Amino acid sequence: MKLKLQDHHLNLALLPTKSQVKHILFITLSNIGDAILTTPTLEALHQQYPDALIDIVCDPRSAIIFKYCPYRDQLILKHKQAGWRGTFMLIRQLRKRRYDVAVDLRSDGLLWLLRAKKRAFKLANQVSMHLHSVEKHFASIKNLVMKVAPLAPKIWLSAKERAEAESMLLTYRSSRILALGIGANFAGKIWPVENFKALCNELKTQFDVVMLLGGLDDAVLSAEFKFGCELPVLDFCGKTDLLTTAALLEHADYFVGNDSGLGHIASALNKPSLSIFGVGQPHRYRPWGDQALWVQDAENNITNVSAKMVAEKIACRL
């Protein structure tokens, strides 16, 4: 989405100065992929107000994304299962601090209960269905930043995760690595394992080794994948935390996966990638960036996406 330049100039008079903004509240989303799609908005706020500390409210699942964010202050957890009691406790905690700017990309009315000089609310679905999530989130702060287009997504790693990844891939330093995310949180989003194997066999002259990434729930799929793949397989499913997984992904030459958080991590690392969609709306939720391709069957049936189709899209980039 491109904001109209005229509208943006009209809003500059309302823009707080850098000296006026010392503490920002940023309420992000719960799922890993969704949280990563909010980081361009977070980064735009930081670039506009570089001296401000930012409290980030997130879900226990997505908290790890912001573990090493260099300009955050408090990391505050919102427990979805805690119900109204949890919301009440969260409001009590947040009201202890007066914010110069508060941005809520998750809920509808929470900001009215907090102490903030400037408030930025999420866009309603009725007016944002045509926008990608990155554009939707960025549009909510158009009165707070001078930038007129979203930045790239971010994920922050430390030397610890990078050293762990280096040691795990020590004998594959010069190898061409194809990383795969073969799992997802819903069966309708999972491309058949046989298709992943067929894809690797189609691309076996382009890569030296396959690296499987994912959680413990994906270990069953990874065990099935190993039988019939004609390339050596490194299986890290369920064996690393999310940030070490991201550090491993830094070493990949290409990533292919289902519609899941791993595709968004690849885009945050600026890795060439392709995400395979079944159900879902890629125009709103695909990984963000020029390096990120996607494919979806016309009937939204992931089993109809062929390995040959995916291999041809990748070969064009390779």
What is this structure's pTM? 0.92
- Written out in words, the top-level CATH class of the domain with range 5-139 is alpha beta
| pLDDT tops 60 at residue 250 | yes
Query: CA 312 to CA 109: how far, in whole Å?
Result: 47
Q: Do domains 5-139 and 159-317 have the same CATH topology?
A: yes
- Sorted by sequence, the CB contacts under 8 Å of residue 305 that are 6+ apart come out as 191, 195, 276, 278, 295, 296, 297
Asked whether the beta carbons of 269 and 155 are under 8 A apart, the reply is yes
pLDDT tens for 269-289 read 999 999 999 988 999 999 999
Alpha helix stretches (DSSP H) within 71-158: 83-94, 125-128, 133-139
What is the three-class DSSP state of 196?
A: helix
The token pair at 230 is 């004609």
Rounded mean pLDDT, 55-83: 94
pLDDT tens for 182-228 read 999 888 899 999 999 999 999 999 999 999 999 999 999 999 999 88
The token pair at 44 is 């735009």
Which pLDDT does position 3 carry in this prediction?
A: 41
Per-state percent for the chain, helix, strand, coil, to nearest 5: 40, 20, 40
What is the three-class DSSP state of 8?
A: helix
Query: CA 235 to CA 233: how far, in whole Å?
Result: 6
Query: CA 237 to CA 233: how far, in whole Å?
Result: 12
Which pLDDT does position 84 carry in this prediction?
A: 87
Domain ranges of the chain: 5-139, 159-317
Question: Strand 53-58 to strand 72-77: parallel, antiparallel, or no bridges (unpaired)?
Answer: parallel
Asked whether the beta carbons of 17 and 118 are under 8 A apart, the reply is no
Whether CATH 3.30.565.10 fits 159-317: no
Query: CA 245 to CA 212: how far, in whole Å?
Result: 10
Rounded mean pLDDT, 309-314: 93
pLDDT band at residue 82 using 50, 70 and 90 as cut-offs: confident
Which pLDDT does position 135 carry in this prediction?
A: 97
